[in-house]
Amino acid sequence: MMLVPIAIVLFAASGLAALFIASPRWSSAVGAGGAVAGAVAGLFAAFGCLLSGAAWRLDLAWSLPIGRLCLQMDALSAFFVAATLFLCGLAAVYGAGYMRSYAGRRLGPSWMFFNLLAASMTLVLTAADSVLFLMAWEIMALASFFLVVFEDEREDARRAGRIYLIATHLGVLPLLAMFLLLGGASGGTDFSGFTAGGAPGLLFLLAVLGFGAKAGFIPLHVWLPEAHPAAPSHVSAVMSGVMIKTGVYGLARALTWFGAPPPWWGWTLVAIGAVSGVWGVLFALAQHDLKRLLAYHSVENIGIIALGLGVGLLGVSYGSPTVAALGFAGGLLHVLNHALFKGLLFLGAGAALHATRTRDMDRMGGLMKRMPWTGACFFVGAAAISALPPFNGFISEFLIYVGAFRSAGLEAAQAAPAIVVILSLALIGGLALACFAKAAGMVFLGEPRAEEAARAHEAGWLMRASMLILALACALIGLASPLALELVAPAARVLAPAPGEAVAALAQASALLARVSAAAATLAVLAGGLWLWRGWLLRGRGVERTVTWDCGYARPTARMQYTASSFAHPMIRAFGALLPTRAKVTPPEGLFPKESSFHSHTPDLFLERVFGPAFAGAARFFSRLRWVQQGRVQVYVLYVALTALLLLLWKLR
Amino acid sequence: MTVAPLVHFLLALALAPLLPGIINKVKAFFAGRQGPPVAQLYYDLWKLFGKGATYSQTTTWVFRLGPPAGLACAAVALAVAPLGSAPALLHFPGDLVLFCYVFGMMRFATILAALDTGSAFEGMGASREAAFSALAEPALFLALVVVCRETDSLSLSTMLPAVSAAKWAETGPALALAAAALFVVFLAENCRIPVDDPNTHLELTMIHEVMVLDHGGPDLGLILYAAALKMWTLGLLLAGLVAPVNTGRWWVDALVGLAGLAVVAVAAGVVESIMARLRLIRVPRLLVVATALAALAMFLVR
């Protein structure tokens, strides 16, 4: 019970200590060491709660006039804490290796904010009071803001930080409104007393808006592809892998307060999930920047999670507990899975970026030979995020699919959203596969496309170790999925209204997953066996090495390879209506063509067409009020005096 | 009854290479040629498995792992697909999702092996394969949802045997549309005309053949065999729909199922003989049409 506060204190204390250590080496050691220690303590607490099923609540002394310092951990909190701290600990280990490349820079602030981020996420996930929750929520936003602008000498990092700061502050407004309404209806700030009161629909919408802005639902995702790539890679992993999941946690927690959901809630989440999923993966396909691509994939995966929660809500609304249990379990398991493989992919991308000094996939290539460990881990992550068996992504999507197929067999009102879920998952699956074939293939396979890529070197052992552990976790959940379901089942039961029936449904699901994992294991063993057989066949026969078949062309160069842009082109063209891709072409001309070039760029549709104009309009409107702000202290004193006078008059009335 | 799944599995492993042979015979018949023997693929496989190998210096273990992984995927998918009225070797509610995603893994392995060569040709093929399969996926799933709604079941091993003559009499149009969508997916996924042309290697318009350009020897053998198994497995879905016979004797049903498979192969051969390959830019439209057919079927169900 005390482990969670201990973890939070460990994070905060080690972060603070790291701040005051001048030597980058020791600063990293203290910061990362404290983060790992805190993560271990928190993981003990979370697993203890998940395995024993014992929820606890802790009231501590609090001197502020509103709110209370009380923490609680039920299965839902414990599940999210487990996913969050597992990735935080590994990212810290990786960061200790990664930050060495920032030689000559003070690393103290970076570690302080990293550990503060871990501490605030733990607090967000365990807070049982709305004031405490919102305070932790803001600390989390600010800590990650300072991490995003770590390389503040770069204009793009500053811009990303600005967009992030604005988005996250706007996102908190609906949450404030939601908590005020909830507090008004239930007469307190404590989570345990919350009831929906008169307008659960409004509360649901506010929760979707506020938590959706953090989670990255389209169109509230615009900060995500800006902020995640700008931060150092282990921070990107934590932000993309787990920080945005606090939004999912908030939404899930809020759903437990709002009472019985009407069908349109499920519909809303399914619609948001389908749009975010499909559009997220399409935008990802169009990117050349490896980390931006991964950030858009977070939007896609949040979409998948929303689809799962939507299936669950529909199951609750229409009174089919099996569907509800499958949907919630699938959505929540995808939270854990996405934390693992997205963390892994960002760490792998960081290693590649570290080695090649570029984020542009069209300037990489051939890294598999130079960085075999990183490459192998990245491939595991790529297969896992594309939901391919035998890895973990398939397991959670399988649960959502089965939930959707079950409701697709029922009457039309319930079947229609289920069919939307199935269709979007199928399309997302195909496009994600294409996108990760592109990312993994262009970065790690073929020949190096630039000098730096040719000189790349393997990542250090700290970085390799954390990637390896994440890759193993991806494989383990794929091959032992009933165990993973054991972890997620208590959390799914918190959301399901009829726990008894949910238990039965989850037991059934566990039996299914046992078969799925058996098939996945067969697949892995079979592939390994055939590989050995092939080697045995070739034993003693002539095995030659030569150049790639070039169709008789005598001087192939690495520049003739397909690039990431050309690989994605057929899909970009097929979905051209949804993507604002622009190309700048200087074609070769004349008999002796000299320079020619091709640049393509896909900006974010919503940032450019929606939020950009909206904010410009707001700026124009507010600039008309500029005359209020004179810059003279006397005038400001006059404002203060006038306001005080008005208030007095109003009081006298 | 209990041996039926195993018998079918072994039968498929043994007979799958006949399907491309049947297609080629049909094409030869239309062209007025004698054509290669039906068992040609067996001779090819024998020859390939006896050869050595040549690898590009650019390639890594990814290239070598591609063909074995692809065959393993095809075999697992085969273990889920039923023939006739007997269930498949592996069956459980939701196995159809596994079925589709295992093919995804197969595609992933092939695409990455192609990209590992660093060749522009193979990159081109890989890119097209990725694009077209992504569009084929919704059509496949939607067609399966139709059958699933029709038969109230989530497992291929119960939903395909549940399609009976009575079902066809009841909701024939829906099943016919679903079968049409599945047939388009069958052609696209097996790289047949009108999506891809399996005959030529070096035309820039080819998809699958150009992806495996650098493979040779046992690797190519594994790829060809896996492709035959994939054709058999996807064909079983169609055969289950178009040959709705359920006599109660598993071997009779299995024979009917095999006949259904042969019919599917002949149909693919006929399509290949009387149609030209579509322009690449048109292929996405064909796949969207398949999805639309399946969606229409959805409205006609029950």
Place of tokens 């963390």: A343
Please determine, for residue A198, whether its predicted confidence score (pLDDT) is greater than 80: no
**A60 forms bridges with which residues in the sheet?**
A69
Please determine, for residue A155, whether its predicted confidence score (pLDDT) is greater than 80: yes
Compute the distance between CA of residue A76 and CA of residue A83 in angstroms, rounded to an integer: 11
**Which H or E element spans position B227?**
helix B217-242
Question: pLDDT tens digit string along A243-254?
Answer: 999 999 999 999
Q: Are residues A176 and A284 in the same domain?
A: no
Residue A564 lies in a domain: no
How many CB atoms neighbour CB A541 within 10 A?
12
Decide: helix, strand or coil at residue B32. Answer: coil
**Which H or E element spans position A260?**
none
Please determine, for residue A268, whether its predicted confidence score (pLDDT) is greater than 90: yes
Residue A583: what are its φ and ψ, rounded to 5°? -120, 140
Cα dihedral across residues B6, B7, B8, B13: positive or negative: positive
Residue A635 lies in a domain: no
Please determine, for residue B163, whether its predicted confidence score (pLDDT) is greater than 90: no
pTM: 0.95
Among residues A480, A513, A546, the one where a domain terminates is A513
| Interface with A, mutate which of B106, B132, B141, B213 (most A CBs under 10 A) | B141
Q: How far is CA A382 from CA A306, A376, A432, A573, B100, in A?
A: 21, 10, 9, 24, 18
Question: pLDDT tens digit string along B108-162?
Answer: 999 999 999 988 888 999 999 999 999 999 999 999 999 988 888 899 998 888 8
> How high does pLDDT run on average in chain A?
91
Nearest CA in chain B to A428: B134
Query: What band does A138 get if pLDDT is binned at 50, 70 and 90?
Result: very high
DSSP state for residue B16 in the 8-state scheme: T
CB of A261 closer than 8 Å to CB of A302:
no
Q: Determine the pLDDT at residue A179.
A: 93
> How high does pLDDT run on average in chain B?
90
Q: Do A570 and B128 touch (CB under 8 A)?
A: yes
Q: Are residues A314 and A413 in the same domain?
A: yes
Q: Which residues of A touch B90 (CB under 8 A)?
A: 515, 518-519
Q: Do A433 and B134 touch (CB under 8 A)?
A: yes
Q: Which residues of B touch A524 (CB under 8 A)?
A: 72
Q: Which residues of A touch B60 (CB under 8 A)?
A: 368-369, 375, 445
Cα dihedral across residues B126, B128, B131, B136: positive or negative: negative
Residue A547 lies in a domain: no
Question: pLDDT tens digit string along A488-530?
Answer: 999 998 888 777 888 888 999 999 999 999 999 999 999 999 9
The pLDDT > 90 percentage for chain A reads 70
Query: What band does B302 get if pLDDT is binned at 50, 70 and 90?
Result: low
Please determine, for residue A629, whether its predicted confidence score (pLDDT) is greater than 70: yes
Please determine, for residue A187, whether its predicted confidence score (pLDDT) is greater than 70: yes
- Residue A437: domain span: 262-456+488-513
Compute the distance between CA of residue A636 and CA of residue A642 in angstroms, rounded to an integer: 10
Q: Are residues A139 and A283 in the same domain?
A: no
Query: Apex CA A97: angle with CA A91 and CA A102, to 5°?
Result: 110
Query: What band does A65 get if pLDDT is binned at 50, 70 and 90?
Result: confident
CB of B295 closer than 8 Å to CB of B142:
yes
Please determine, for residue A412, whether its predicted confidence score (pLDDT) is greater than 80: no
Q: Are residues A155 and A303 in the same domain?
A: no
Compute the distance between CA of residue A520 and CA of residue A540 in angstroms, rounded to an integer: 33
Per the structure, the count of domains in chain B is 1
Q: What one-letter code names the amino acid at B200?
A: T
**A598 forms bridges with which residues in the sheet?**
A585
| Interface with A, mutate which of B98, B142, B211 (most A CBs under 10 A) | B98
Q: Determine the pLDDT at residue A12.
A: 94
The pLDDT > 70 percentage for chain A reads 100
Residue A237 lies in a domain: no
Q: Which residues of B touch A577 (CB under 8 A)?
A: none
Q: Determine the pLDDT at residue B202.
A: 61
Place of tokens 């949802």: B145
Mean pLDDT for A201-212 is 94
Please determine, for residue B204, whether its predicted confidence score (pLDDT) is greater than 70: no
Q: Which residues of B touch A511 (CB under 8 A)?
A: 92
Q: Which residues of A touch B134 (CB under 8 A)?
A: 427, 430-431, 433-434, 571
Q: How far is CA B125 from the centre of its chain?
A: 18
CB of A517 closer than 8 Å to CB of B25:
no
**A600 forms bridges with which residues in the sheet?**
A583
Q: Do A530 and B49 touch (CB under 8 A)?
A: no
Please determine, for residue A22, whether its predicted confidence score (pLDDT) is greater than 90: no
Cα dihedral across residues A206, A207, A208, A210: positive or negative: positive
Between strands A69-73 and A543-546, the pairing is unpaired
Q: Do B131 and A562 touch (CB under 8 A)?
A: no
Q: Do B116 and A446 touch (CB under 8 A)?
A: yes
Among residues A181, A196, A214, the one where a domain terminates is A181
Structure token digits, residue A348 = 């792998």
Mean pLDDT for A460-487 is 94
Q: Determine the pLDDT at residue B205.
A: 64
Compute the distance between CA of residue A28 and CA of residue A16 in angstroms, rounded to an integer: 12
Q: Which residues of A touch B152 (CB under 8 A)?
A: 409
Place of tokens 């399946």: B294
**A59 forms bridges with which residues in the sheet?**
A70
Beta-carbon contacts below 8 Å between A and B: 259
Q: Determine the pLDDT at residue B201.
A: 61
Q: Determine the pLDDT at residue B1.
A: 52
Query: What band does A106 get if pLDDT is binned at 50, 70 and 90?
Result: confident
Q: Determine the pLDDT at residue A47.
A: 93
DSSP state for residue A219 in the 8-state scheme: T
Mean pLDDT for A325-330 is 94
**Across the interface, which of A430, A522, A537 has its CB nearest the CB of B137?**
A430
CB of A30 closer than 8 Å to CB of A18:
yes
Instruction: Looking at the complex, report in whole angstroms how far the Cα of residue B160 sits from the nearest Cα belonging to chain A.
Output: 15
**Which H or E element spans position A60?**
strand A56-60
Q: How far is CA B23 from CA A423, B35, B147, B229, B287, in A?
A: 32, 10, 27, 14, 22
Nearest CA in chain B to A533: B68
Query: What band does A100 get if pLDDT is binned at 50, 70 and 90?
Result: confident
**Which H or E element spans position B56?**
strand B53-56
CB of B235 closer than 8 Å to CB of B265:
yes
Q: Which of A234-238, A562-566, B15-19 has the lowest mean pLDDT?
A: A562-566
Please determine, for residue B245, whether its predicted confidence score (pLDDT) is greater than 90: no
Q: Are residues A42 and A168 in the same domain?
A: yes
Place of tokens 């923490």: A71
Structure token digits, residue A208 = 């979707």
Question: pLDDT tens digit string along A539-567?
Answer: 888 888 888 887 777 677 888 888 998 99
- Residue B281: domain span: 4-300
Please determine, for residue A613, whether its predicted confidence score (pLDDT) is greater than 90: yes
Q: Are residues A364 and A507 in the same domain?
A: yes
Q: Determine the pLDDT at residue B277.
A: 85
Q: Which residues of A touch B79 (CB under 8 A)?
A: 519, 522
Q: What one-letter code names the amino acid at B43?
A: Y
| Interface with B, mutate which of A425, A513, A549 (most B CBs under 10 A) | A549
Per the structure, the count of domains in chain A is 2
Q: Are residues A379 and A502 in the same domain?
A: yes
**A584 forms bridges with which residues in the sheet?**
A599
For A53-88, letters b (16+ CB in 10 Å) and e give eeebeeeeeeeeeebbbbbbbbbbbbbbbbbbbbbb
Please determine, for residue A280, whether its predicted confidence score (pLDDT) is greater than 80: yes
The pLDDT > 70 percentage for chain B reads 97
How many CB atoms neighbour CB A271 within 10 A?
17
Mean pLDDT for A624-632 is 85
Q: What one-letter code names the amino acid at A196?
A: A
Q: Which of A352, A328, A349 is nearest to A269 (CA)?
A: A328
